[in-house]
Structure 1
């Protein structure tokens, strides 16, 4: 089905790993310390965004006077403590395994690199990917194309010969902006 592509790129959170419930729990715990809440639907709309951008939206929603980067850091520390024990691969990981060794593959994620690398290594999945591009590797995040363009560059594949697997509108928009085809895994 994906033979016409020279490279496969996978978003991580919600695409190949079931991290979303853990991220939401970490947000709830972090925000409880400030007496703040978040709207779950608004959070879903921000899937694929870097943590600081989500923190900024929560701060604005709660009309709080906090530094979004500091709040994001606190949430990241909370999620780090939970992730390795709670995250499992999603069914799309079978596509990754079936294409391993046949095409170069990369992960393009809005998560921080230390979390992405820790999760992929912990689950024995890092070996499948020639590159992992995370939020701290690019200046412009999804929906900008930078994450996926860097994935293509690191794989040595022309962007127009790549396909991106995504579960978020921002990610699919980023794939289009990069000149890549996108597969909305929510429809699979």
Structure 2
């Protein structure tokens, strides 16, 4: 089905790994310290955005005077302690396994590299990917194309010959802006 592509790029959270419930629990824990909550629909709309951007939206919603980068660090620290015990691969990992060794593959994620690398390694999946591009590797995050363009570059594949697997609108926009085809995994 993906024969015509020279490279495959996968978003991580919600696409190949079931991290969303853990991320939401970490947000609840951290925001509870400040007597704040997040709106579930607003959080879904921000899927694919870096943690600091989500923190900024929550802070603005609550008219709080917190540093979004500090709040994001707190959330990242909380999620690190939870993720390795709770996250499992999603069914799309079968596509990764089927194409391993046949095409270069990369992960392009809005998560920080420390979390992405730890999760992929812990689950025995890191060896499938020639590159992992995370939020701290690019200046402009999804919906900008930078994450996926860097994935293509690190795989040595022209962007127009790549397909991106995504579960978030920001990621789908980023793939389109990068000149790549995209598969909305929510429709699979």
Query: Scaled by the length of structure 1, what TM-score is found?
Result: 1.00
Q: What is the Cα deviation at residue 92 of structure 1? A: 0.0
- SS of the aligned residue for 1:175 comes to helix
Cross-structure match for 1:156: 156
1:65-144 equivalent positions in 2, closer than 5 A: 65-144=65-144
User: Hey, what's the Cα distance between the residues in 1 that align with 2:118 and 2:150?
Assistant: 20
Cross-structure match for 1:178: 178
Q: What is the Cα deviation at residue 103 of structure 1? A: 0.1
Deviations 1:92-143 (A, max 9, x none): 0000000000000000000000000000000000000000000000000000
Aligned-residue RMSD, C-alpha: 0.2
The answer to whether 1:32 aligns with 2:32 is yes
Q: What is the Cα deviation at residue 3 of structure 1? A: 0.1
Cross-structure match for 1:187: 187
User: Hey, what's the Cα distance between the residues in 1 that align with 2:78 and 2:156?
Assistant: 36
User: Hey, what's the Cα distance between the residues in 2 that align with 1:67 and 1:45?
Assistant: 21
Cross-structure match for 2:55: 55
Task: Structure 2: state its 5+ residue gaps.
Answer: none
Deviations 1:42-80 (A, max 9, x none): 000000000000000000011100000000000000000
Q: Where does structure 1 differ by over 4 angstroms across 4 or more consecutive aligned residues?
A: none
Cross-structure match for 1:6: 6
Q: What is the Cα deviation at residue 164 of structure 1? A: 0.1
Q: What is the Cα deviation at residue 151 of structure 1? A: 0.1
Query: Scaled by the length of structure 2, what TM-score is found?
Result: 1.00
User: Hey, what's the Cα distance between the residues in 1 that align with 2:40 and 2:78?
Assistant: 18
- SS of the aligned residue for 1:106 comes to strand
**For this pair of structures, how many residues does the alignment match?**
188
